Amino acid sequence: MLASPAVRAAPSTLDLLLLPLHRLVWADPHRRARKLLRFAETEADGGRDLARAAELTFDPALRRLYLRHAQDEQRHADLFRRRGRELLSQPGSASKFEANWLAPGERGLDDLRVEKQSDETLLAFLHLSEKAAAGRFVIYRRVLQADPDTRGVFARVLEDEAFHMTYTGKQLARLSPRKHGLRLWQARAGRLWKTYLRLASAVASVFGTVMLGLQYFLLLPAFALVAKRAARREPPGLAPSRPPTPLQSQY
């Protein structure tokens, strides 16, 4: 097994500013459990994508690293799942709100098509993703003082994330010594675009809900009123049928 270099993961300024909100999100044990179970799915998904990347690469050193990375992500999935189930089995509140937009955990490969990526673009993407995940896990570890077991899970996962962040950066510099900065900027732009799409779909969903609500409460009563008035104009009882027209021909 490869030794993990000591790299310190740093949370983003935004996450540091939102620290009280993170504390609030993680305070409820049931919400914490569901978040851990969701993290487990993402980690397992990322592990599968990395195993596929190991199959596709022609670089023997990268293949070895991708395979180790895939095993790490699978182990993270097991750790998160186990702890999530433990928490779910404990009695507590049953809040359904997960605040995934605020505490998304590791985003995995974020629906990235591994087959369509070169080693360089994949490494650049992985480097940024692992860096972001490591920063978030530092925050989660910090706000979980009241739950040492879950905190311990994040501490163990964080060591691996720091290694993932480092090896992807070093391998990118090895494969692309002149253009690794450009590759990172391209990956950053891709992540920014995905963030915009996520935000836009969230705003569109809120907008759609508001519009439907307005239609229900403002338009529907007006139609109901018109229907009621029309019903009032109808004569009561049964209306006589039209007199039959005499038949003039066979048809």
If the CB atoms of residues 156 and 203 are measured against Fe ion, the closer one turns out to be 156
Q: C-beta of 161: minimal distance to Fe ion in Å?
A: 5
- Token readout for 133 is 């995940």
**Residue 35 binds Fe ion (CB under 5 A):** no
- Token readout for 39 is 């993290």
Q: C-beta of 47: minimal distance to Fe ion in Å?
A: 8
- Token readout for 6 is 């000591």
Q: C-beta of 201: minimal distance to Fe ion in Å?
A: 25
> Which residue in the shown chain puts its C-beta closest to Fe ion?
76
Per CB under 5 A, contacts with Fe ion among 82-141 are 106, 130
If the CB atoms of residues 77 and 87 are measured against Fe ion, the closer one turns out to be 77
If the CB atoms of residues 73 and 119 are measured against Fe ion, the closer one turns out to be 73
Number of residues located near Fe ion, criterion CB under 5 A: 7
Question: For residues 157 and 134, what is the distance between their CA atoms, to the nearest angstrom?
Answer: 9
**Residue 31 binds Fe ion (CB under 5 A):** no
**Residue 164 binds Fe ion (CB under 5 A):** yes
Q: Which residues contact 12 (CB under 8 A, 6 or more apart)?
A: 132, 135
The type of residue at 16 is L
In this structure, what DSSP letter does residue 218 have? I
Q: Which residues contact 62 (CB under 8 A, 6 or more apart)?
A: 54, 119, 123, 171
If the CB atoms of residues 28 and 161 are measured against Fe ion, the closer one turns out to be 161
Q: Which residues contact 171 (CB under 8 A, 6 or more apart)?
A: 61, 62, 65, 119, 123
If the CB atoms of residues 179 and 194 are measured against Fe ion, the closer one turns out to be 194
Which ranges of the chain would DSSP assign to H, the alpha helix?
13-17, 19-27, 29-56, 60-88, 119-143, 148-175, 180-214, 220-233
Q: C-beta of 63: minimal distance to Fe ion in Å?
A: 17
Judged by CB under 5 A, which of 76, 131, 136, 183 binds Fe ion?
Answer: 76
Q: C-beta of 205: minimal distance to Fe ion in Å?
A: 28
Q: Which residues contact 119 (CB under 8 A, 6 or more apart)?
A: 57, 59, 62, 171, 175
If the CB atoms of residues 28 and 42 are measured against Fe ion, the closer one turns out to be 42
Interface ranges with Fe ion (CB under 5 A) = 43, 73, 76, 106, 130, 161, 164
